[in-house]
A and B are shown apart, each in its own frame.
Chain A
Amino acid sequence: MGSQEVLIEAQQLTKKFDDFTAVDHIDFKVYRGECVGFLGPNGAGKTTTVRMVYCFLPPTSGELKVAGFSVNTQCRQIKNLVGVAPQEDNLDPDFTVLKNLTVYCRYFDIPKDEAIKRADEQLKFFQLEEKSNVPIDALSGGMKRRLIFARALINQPQILLLDEPTTGLDPQARHLAWDEVRNLKKKQVTIILTTHYMDEAAVLCDRILIIDRGKIIEEGSPAELVKKHAGEEVLELDYDEKLLPTLKEAFPDAEFERLGERLQIFTDKPHGVFEGFLKDHPMQNVTIRAANLEDVFLKLTGRGLREQ
């Protein structure tokens, strides 16, 4: 968990691209050693915010301080402390796997011997040793993601920015990445993670900011958010109009949501309420599950597709 030392602080942070406001007067703090998840639909402003943290994009207005340095004037200091794993593949296709890491070290003024040592360590951890002398084009998508992760750690950053780090990874590689995130948290590395995988955010993040249309619409720990917005349990069943009055009567305090041909019923009552009901009303195609972050996310940001 994080300490009380504020490492990243945004005040009224705004980014506009021509007439489009990607990030709209947001305030947030990230404490040292914390892992904070930025969740939001596509185009919500997550990546833009992350890009402002590592000085890739200058803010249009507002304040953003990273480790006490201003992103407007002290980029060099900030970038020395930060490791970035961007969403897109920007590995250097003109070099081999190993050379990608050692050339990257050079940008950080890391001496050659140390660079080779660090590169070897990272390749070993991310199980890319055998690919050391292979050109980037010969790597699979998952290997590229792992190499991007390894490259982000090469300057031993205090702050790690992971922009959808596990998109396209198979479950094995995903767990490897998660292990590394946990490992880094133990070393008090501060992490900002953007992801579309709610299970990933729930497992890794101490705190979550839900961002939509450039604004932070909710924040809290995963457990808090689930409890507050989705309750304890969810009953999912086929939608049937005739059954609706019975259900409403059985669960007067629950929330009902229709999802196409399915109905979801959310309750904040302790476990067991749905089981009792099902014993009296046996039916097909029913699931009882714990409420999760995805329920919260969909509830807060809606179900409509974005980017249309």
Chain B
Amino acid sequence: MRFMMIVKGTTDSEAGTPPSPELLEAMQKYNEELVKAGVLLAADGLQPTSAGIRISYPEPGGKPKVVDGPFAEAKEIIAGYTLIEVKSREEAIEWALRMPDPHGFGQGEIELRQVFEPHDLTSEPEALAGQAALRKQLDERRRP
């Protein structure tokens, strides 16, 4: 199963201040550990929201509204992500707990989210049964 560790933005990441050499080193070491354990799928850092735009649809069916960055509330902002593939939720939590505090200054925040997946790479009977039931429901609804 895949999990995404989402690193939230901070005043530093939004200002474009690069992380300290110590933090960079710790992050690099952590990523190497993920690679050596064979669990890392992808990892990227994002540029500050000042370089981004936001598209919203305030009116259903209406035209999109485009707003240039930067955006306020740093905690709502994603500064980077790490995608891993592991065998259990607990394993994902264990890896997430090992990630270094991504910013320091009391602002570091990591969110761990599970990725939706078709049954192929899952081996959990409950999840599979759930999906099978869902598929059946959908099939029944499709029938005239």
A binds B: no
Interface residues of A (CB under 8 A from B): none
